[in-house]
Structure 1
Amino acid sequence: MTSRVIGGPAVLRFSGAGVSDVGLVRADNEDSAYVGPYLVVVADGVGGAAAGEVASATATHAMVTTVVDRADDLPEVVLREGAELACASVQRGVQADLRRLGMATTLTALVCDGRRAVLGHVGDSRAYLLRGGRLEQVSRDHTYVQRMVDNGEMDRGTALRHPWRHVVLRSVDGDPVHEAIDLVPVPIAAGDRVLLCSDGLTDLVPDPAVADLLVSTPDPHSAAAVLVRAALTAGGRDNVTCVVADVVDGPEVVGEGRLLGAASELANVVDPRSVRGR
């Protein structure tokens, strides 16, 4: 990832990296991610033969295309528009090839406008904030078991072991009728660290272990790699993607972000002519 520093007052931005791995069981990587100075994204495609990699790559490119270079717009605006484009693009992908019927993806994106950050989220990929050694999940899973926990019908311990814990109630899919993406303000400050990850990590590595690894590994790329390795050591049953970004305070930068996983292959994107060369 290259960038150049431009003049002006100090602003908040991300300095990070990511790692995406197919895991030890799956044949293909259906996860996608993007790491940039003001936007980080993780998307976990579902659908198997129904092209989960197309869904996640298309949604990630849609978010990047919408958000990048719109620093003057409110994070809530660009996140909402990015999610709408992602939904429309996945829907077009299904309409163009009915063999893709059933493809869908999670979408978790964090935008910083230089002063504050907002999370856009749908599905069960996760976003965490690490501050002072304390790890806090700032996204909420859109799953059957999380709804049961929220309604007081299931405790968290049972939810961790429930056979339906992977049943996702909301996603970016081919349905023309969908709920809007969750928009969550995330208070950030220089020195914070954020983690976006697919459930290939969180299904196998508990939050306290994630926190320990994030605290003990200073470099973001090394931290992402260590987290992925922990998931592989624990069985690697799924694709696993981790994006680790430190919040820094300094001059504004203009630079290209990095695409990871399925999103790094334009062949996975519905109508790649419409996306940026990012």
Structure 2
Amino acid sequence: MRFSVYQESHIGGRKVNQDRMGYSFTRDALLLLLTDGMGGHLHGEIAANIAMQTIGSLFQKNAQPYIKKPERFLEDAFYAAHMEIHRYREVHKLSETPRTTVVACLIQHNSAFWAHCGDSRLYWMRNGQILARTRDHSRIESLIAQGKADPSERATHPDRNKLFNCLGATNMPIVELSRRVSLQAGDVMLLCSDGLWSMLPDHVLAQRLQTSTIVRAVPELVNNALGIAGKTSDNVTALAMAWGADPNLDDPSSSIVTHTLPIGSLTTTIQAPRLGATDTPDGFSDADIEQAIAEIRGAIEKNI
């Protein structure tokens, strides 16, 4: 694999930054991950941290050196993070369960898969065009899909900030999975929190990431969003990855090349414990995770 990656987060006008982002890669697989703790509930930053650590740890455990079943991995990793957030509430006897949105992208064998819960977004871009974007799990998007609201109301509708899906809720999360897509050199994946996309139109994001390297574009976009929002700005977070040998890169040597890495090696910016062959995050055994996920899957099937 050859890619460039850059990430940045700013607290904005809030007292706490509840956004988290990071990436991990082995010789043959790359995980991009972003979470946004929900401010309407207690300890959103804790839920965001738990989701990052759980999903990051499971990638570390299973990418040997790539993930055998990408879609199943993303779905099960989200379920495991959801369970771990609930376990945290029980252990610490919190009055309510912390909640977070999440978006993740797994890239291997020149293909990408992604999943999300909530309104943290992923954009897949090529030559300044948006090929795909995640659909927010929000009330306004549901109304638009039903023909009960116009797309122009996304920025002004009173229900625009109401989410019906996340990790940590009382209901089981709905993990929305993408189809497998084939990447071309120069393709860009952008993961971002609503603090960014709510301030900048999609075409501005695409244009900036086409005309500048991700190292320049990401901080410019974050600063632009902060400037537009002013003192009341939400946390603003973006993580971008440019795939392959990008001719727009000022310095091609800044690309990450993984084919020389030994099997078993892992590079990560996700703050998660390094796991041994039989370890799982924060007390979950393999049997615990498999049993709990089986129960979730069974409950989902009963409700279909």
TM-score with structure 1 length normalisation?
A: 0.83
- 1:131 deviates by 0.3
Could you tell me how far apart the structure 1 residues matched to 2:87 and 2:48 are? 14
Q: Which residue of 2 aligns with 1:256?
A: 267
Q: Which residue of 2 aligns with 1:181?
A: 175
| Structure with greater contact order relative to length (CA < 8 Å, sep ≥ 6) | 1
Matched residue count: 253
Structure 2 counterpart SS, 1:135: strand
Whether the 8 Å contact between 1:47 and 1:103 is mirrored in structure 2 is no
Deviates more, 1:98-107 or 1:143-152: 98-107
Q: Which residue of 2 aligns with 1:191?
A: 186
Q: Which residue of 2 aligns with 1:152?
A: 147
Could you tell me how far apart the structure 1 residues matched to 2:3 and 2:81 are? 23
* Counterpart AA for 2:161: H
In the TM superposition, what whole-angstrom CA distance separates every residue of 1:31-81 from its partner, at most 9, and x where no partner exists? Answer: 011123401011100146710000011001111111235214121121112
Could you say if the C-alpha distance between residues 186 and 225 of structure 1 is closer, same or farther in structure 2, counting changes exceeding 3 Å?
farther
1:35 aligns with 2:30: no
Q: 2:160 aligns with which of 153, 165, 171?
A: 165
Could you tell me how far apart the structure 2 residues matched to 1:206 and 1:174 are? 29
Q: Which residue of 2 aligns with 1:26?
A: 14
Structure 1 counterpart SS, 2:244: strand
Q: Which residue of 2 aligns with 1:216?
A: 211
* Counterpart AA for 1:183: L
- 1:179 deviates by 3.4
* Counterpart AA for 2:7: G
* Counterpart AA for 2:9: S
1:56 aligns with 2:51: no
Q: How does 1:49-128 map to 2 (within 5 A)?
A: 50-68=42-60, 69-70=62-63, 71-99=66-94, 101-128=96-123
Q: Which residue of 2 aligns with 1:8?
A: none
Could you say if the C-alpha distance between residues 234 and 35 of structure 1 is closer, same or farther in structure 2, counting changes exceeding 3 Å?
same
1:231 aligns with 2:225: yes
Could you say if the C-alpha distance between residues 113 and 274 of structure 1 is closer, same or farther in structure 2, counting changes exceeding 3 Å?
farther
Tell me which structure has the larger Cα radius of gyration.
2
Structure 2 unaligned spans of 5+? 246-256, 274-279, 285-304
Could you tell me how far apart the structure 1 residues matched to 2:241 and 2:212 are? 12
Whether the 8 Å contact between 1:108 and 1:119 is mirrored in structure 2 is yes
Could you tell me how far apart the structure 2 residues matched to 1:194 and 1:156 are? 24
Greater strand proportion: 1
TM-score with structure 2 length normalisation?
A: 0.77
Whether the 8 Å contact between 1:51 and 1:100 is mirrored in structure 2 is no
Could you tell me how far apart the structure 2 residues matched to 1:213 and 1:98 are? 46
Could you tell me how far apart the structure 2 residues matched to 1:186 and 1:223 are? 26
Whether the 8 Å contact between 1:197 and 1:241 is mirrored in structure 2 is yes
